Amino acid sequence: MSDNNKSTILIVDDEAFNIVVLSDLLKAEYRIIVAKSGEQALNRVHDEVRPDLILLDIMMPDMDGYEVCSALKADPATANIPVIFVSAMSDGIDEDRGLKVGAIDYIRKPVTPAIVRSRVRNHLALKIAQDQLSRQNEVLEALVQQRTAELVTTQDVTIMALASLAETRDNETGNHIRRTQHYVKILAEELVAAGHYTDELTPENIELLYKSAPLHDIGKVGIPDSILLKPGKLEPEEFRIMMTHAELGAKALQQAGDSLCSNATSFLRYARDIAACHHEKWDGKGYPRGLSGDDIPLSARLMSLADVYDALISKRVYKPAFSHEKAASIILEGRGTHFEPVIVDAFQRTEQDFQVIAARYKDVE
């Protein structure tokens, strides 16, 4: 077997005789490199040929074996190299100390050839198996990360496709869903900064809210064109039909969630709550269920303000676009009736962010 195919063993001992003894025992099966001091050993482990295992003497001048082993284990680059102490020190306390600083075994001097060969062979086999397992885990982790990224991308594309589907039948634009999802995120982050809903609005959940928000009007695909696209004010019966879009969207998203495993439905749960309840009002006078206060999901309470604000500043066939100032005044008037007070307060503190988002995703005439 060529040296290139052999495992490499570093023998560290300040006595030349001990190095010769161990080298003669092992050189037929392994590539041998040597160091005559702790400092030299710490340099050699970073050579081009890194050892697969180290046989380390304890009693050496300047830096003893315990110090060398501790230094090896403290360095991420060498921490996984197995160390076997080879020493004339035979006290159980010495062995215990050696194992505590990171050695995997302890061979007493004078050495027994069969024991040395057996221990080296066994620990190298274990090291090879651990290295193979580590490489397999790295490959698996990379595959999992790749698959997760693919699933996230698929999820995001699916959300936007569904949201865009709803918009193809509506007078609203794609920029409406982009603006509102950013408004929701800004409001959620501001609530957390002010100490509100910190348990619910974790960074992960805020991201889910951001991704789910575009589906708030998915139920509009079930509303007849004669009502959905009507340029004027809806008649009472027409408005009753229009209001059903909230329940239609919630039902569709619930059915989608029921067909998936629980771990895949977090964003659909938020999307369902938003679709169902974003027209509810804080005082209970909204639709479709007449929920009030905390009975309205937080996600929907955030979406409610975001949706109303964007409707106010956007041009529609039945109304001109309002200025930010007028829209903001209407939002403030709805504090405690239409909207939750702390969310309105968060809006007031982030008005400049709302204006930036509105300008960035402005509709093209």
Q: What class, spelled out in words, does domain 168-360 have in CATH?
A: mainly alpha
| Residue 201: pLDDT over 90 | yes
| Residue 13: pLDDT over 50 | yes
Mean of the per-residue pLDDT values for the chain? 88
Contacts of residue 174, defined as CB under 8 A and 6 or more positions apart, other chains included, come to 164, 167
Q: What percent of the chain is predicted at pLDDT more than 70?
A: 88
CA dihedral 235, 236, 239, 240 (to 10 degrees): -150
* Range of lowest pLDDT (42-56, 165-179, 182-196, 343-357): 165-179
| Residue 97: pLDDT over 90 | no
Residue pair 268/262 in contact by the 8 Å Cβ criterion: no
pLDDT at res. 88: 83
* Range of lowest pLDDT (71-85, 227-241, 289-303): 227-241
Q: Measured between alpha carbons, how far is 199 from 162 in angstroms, rounded to an integer?
A: 30
* Mean pLDDT calculated for residue range 205-233: 88
Q: What does each C-alpha distance from 318 to 229, 230, 232 come to in angstroms?
A: 11, 9, 6
pLDDT at res. 149: 73
- For 163-192, letters b (16+ CB in 10 Å) and e give beebbebbebeebbbbbbbbbbbbbbbbbb
Q: Measured between alpha carbons, how far is 262 from 99 in angstroms, rounded to an integer?
A: 45
Model pLDDT for residues 329-350, shown as the tens digit of each residue? 999 999 999 999 999 999 999 9
Model pLDDT for residues 39-78, shown as the tens digit of each residue? 999 999 998 889 999 999 999 998 999 999 999 999 999 9
pLDDT at res. 263: 47
Candidates 209, 235, 211, 212; CA nearest to 224 is 235
Q: What percent of the chain is predicted at pLDDT more than 90?
A: 62
* Range of lowest pLDDT (47-56, 224-233, 318-327, 337-346): 224-233
DSSP run (H or E) holding 107? strand 105-108
pLDDT at res. 31: 95
pLDDT at res. 141: 85
Residue pair 192/304 in contact by the 8 Å Cβ criterion: no
Architecture of domain 3-139: 3-Layer(aba) Sandwich (3.40)
DSSP run (H or E) holding 356? helix 351-360
Confidence of residue 139 (pLDDT cuts 50, 70, 90): confident
| Residue 170: pLDDT over 90 | no
Residue 260, sorted as left (phi over 0), alpha (psi -120 to 50) or beta, turns out to be beta
pLDDT at res. 232: 81
pLDDT at res. 351: 97
Give the domain ranges of the chain.
3-139, 168-360
* Mean pLDDT calculated for residue range 293-315: 96
Confidence of residue 145 (pLDDT cuts 50, 70, 90): confident
